[in-house]
Amino acid sequence: MSGNGKETPPAGSVSGLQAALSRTLIFRSRKERYHFLFAPHSAGGLIIRTLARSVAAPLASTLKILEERGEKVFSGAMLVDEESRCLFCVSEAPEGFLSELASWAQRNVSEIPALIALADAGVAVSSAHLDSNEAVLALAPTELSIVREPDLWKDLLRADVAGTAAVLGVAWPGERLWYWLSDGADPPLLLQPVAIDPNHERMEHLIRQARGSVRSRGNTGTCLIIDAGNIQFRGPDLELAGLHSLAAWVRQHVAAHPALARLSGCEFLATSAGRVASVVADANAWSGIERPSVPGTLEESARVFAGLAGDAGCWFWLTGAGPDGPFLDLADLQGDPAGESFAPRSARNYRRFAGSFEDAISGILRLDANGQPVFVTHEPHVDHWPALMHQLAARAHDTQPAFAAFGRAVLIQYAGEQVARTLRATDGS
């Protein structure tokens, strides 16, 4: 794992193949030519390689293995047309190719978001010898008879209220989301995480659906959940009327899609020349729509801590580099005993709080028999922990009453399987 917590999957594994496919699709270019291999029922699914990298041989050996196994497999060349659509060229009549490709993409698009690039793909039969790089380079899209079936792709990514709510429901503070807001459209708000849609392709697919026949340009930009838990929209054309329309739409759908309540209390930041020109907010517009606490905020940590009882414990991640002093992230332990969710969350926290690489402490928090908090960590540098506890306990006076208990907390530092040291919050007073 690298310093920012990103892991590179092994090249030959399914996740490695998926990562390579995502990258190829995201960076596909009209100037490149590609070889492809598509086995709809194999774990690898679709493999696309640029000509320079494929040299045909690795794909040919994979093709041979799949054919020997009796798997259905298509292979040939791929081009990219002027509208960035993929065009697959095959040597023989591609019986069922597009429908197989569309249903495979549909099954895998949540795992491989970049598969949206396949939407409206075309297929063409070519008499050229497609194993040869020279023949593939000589292919001219204008001379090919291309078949497309747009209807096959209409369910690949749906623009609807549920989709918007799903993105909102799992967004974490600091994560950038593209947005598109348009009063007359259905739905009037579309969202996609920048991290899975860096070239805005998924958004464009959604916008085409939501606009329908209405030629609304809409307002676009990025938004994110801020440290306090509410959302800030940032863009050049944001106005109060849009915020009121958004609130009215949320009110209409929040019962069926509770994650929409995360929009309650959102702010519109009109930007110009790299600065915030004005901030628009209206608490009254959201009356009666209570925003739930958002994982990764102090509000949520206070809620998790207040709910601790008996044997229950929670993961913790603590830094003094928060926006207003220390920041403590607490998360469920029993549902995530291996830390599979909390480990990437910690990695995100290191990026979110720039100075945290110098002081963060992580581990498990539980209560002792007297209900006092006990922090357990493997972190070797913990001298600053008592001071952080004091600052957190001081927050009890203003916003987080549950944090008063941290003034009496204990930290147990392990080295390997041995207790190396015990610290008390009172040591820092």
Partner 1 sequence: MSGTAEMNAWIARVLGIEVLTAAAKTSSDAAAIDAGALNRLGLAAARLPPRPDRPGRSARTDALIGRVASLPPAPEPKDLLAQFGGLAPEFVLAVLEEPASTATALREGAELPRQDWMLEFGDRYSSLLRDLRDWRRLLADAQAARDAATTAADLGPGQGDLIEDYATARDSCLEARALVMTAVHSLATEFGQARQAST
Applying CB under 8 A, among 275, 283, 284, 288 the residue interacting with partner 1 is 275
Site string for partner 1, 339-368 (x = CB under 8 A): x--xx--xxx-xxxxxxxx--x-xxx-x-x
Among 39, 135, 41, residue whose Cα is nearest residue 79: 135
Instruction: For the CB of residue 315, give the shortest distance to partner 1 in the complex, in Å.
Output: 7
Among 306, 236, 233, residue whose Cα is nearest residue 272: 236
Which string of b and e fits 166-190 if b means at least 16 CB within 10 Å? Answer: ebbeebbbebebbbbbbbebebbbb
Applying CB under 8 A, among 259, 374, 394, 396 the residue interacting with partner 1 is 374
Number of residues that bind partner 1 (CB under 8 A): 88
Footprint of partner 1 on 223-262 (CB under 8 A) = 224-228, 232, 234-236
265 belongs to the binding site for partner 1 (CB under 8 A): no
Site string for partner 1, 140-179 (x = CB under 8 A): ---------------------------------xxxx-x-
Instruction: For the CB of residue 125, give the shortest distance to partner 1 in the complex, in Å.
Output: 28
Q: Considering the complex, state which of residue 3 and residue 70 has its C-beta at the smaller distance from partner 1.
A: 3
Applying CB under 8 A, among 11, 27, 55, 158 the residue interacting with partner 1 is 27
Instruction: For the CB of residue 181, give the shortest distance to partner 1 in the complex, in Å.
Output: 12
Q: Considering the complex, state which of residue 36 and residue 178 has its C-beta at the smaller distance from partner 1.
A: 178
Q: Considering the complex, state which of residue 64 and residue 176 has its C-beta at the smaller distance from partner 1.
A: 176
- For residue 137, the SS3 value is helix
Site string for partner 1, 376-395 (x = CB under 8 A): xxxx----------------
- Name the one residue in this structure whose structure tokens are 């623009």: 159
Among 41, 36, 85, 82, residue whose Cα is nearest residue 56: 36
Site string for partner 1, 207-226 (x = CB under 8 A): x-------x-x--xxx-xxx
CA distance linking residue 404 with residue 392, whole number of Å: 8
The per-type count for the chain, helices as H runs and strands as E runs, is: 11, 18
CA distance linking residue 43 with residue 151, whole number of Å: 26
Residue 52: CB atoms within 10 A of its CB come to 10
Q: Considering the complex, state which of residue 216 and residue 391 has its C-beta at the smaller distance from partner 1.
A: 216
- For residue 373, the SS3 value is strand
Q: Considering the complex, state which of residue 138 and residue 415 has its C-beta at the smaller distance from partner 1.
A: 415
Sequence-ordered strand ranges (E) for 285-372: 313-322, 325-332, 361-367
Q: Considering the complex, state which of residue 93 and residue 354 has its C-beta at the smaller distance from partner 1.
A: 354
CA angle 229, 410, 228 (to 5 degrees): 5
> Pairing mode, if any, of strands 410-415 and 373-377?
parallel
Site string for partner 1, 398-417 (x = CB under 8 A): ------------x-x-xxxx
Instruction: For the CB of residue 290, give the shortest distance to partner 1 in the complex, in Å.
Output: 20
Instruction: For the CB of residue 99, give the shortest distance to partner 1 in the complex, in Å.
Output: 27
Distances (CA, A) of 262 to 180, 221, 240: 17, 18, 18
Applying CB under 8 A, among 184, 258, 337, 371 the residue interacting with partner 1 is 337
122 in Cβ contact with 87 (< 8 Å): yes
Token pair for 372: 């006092």
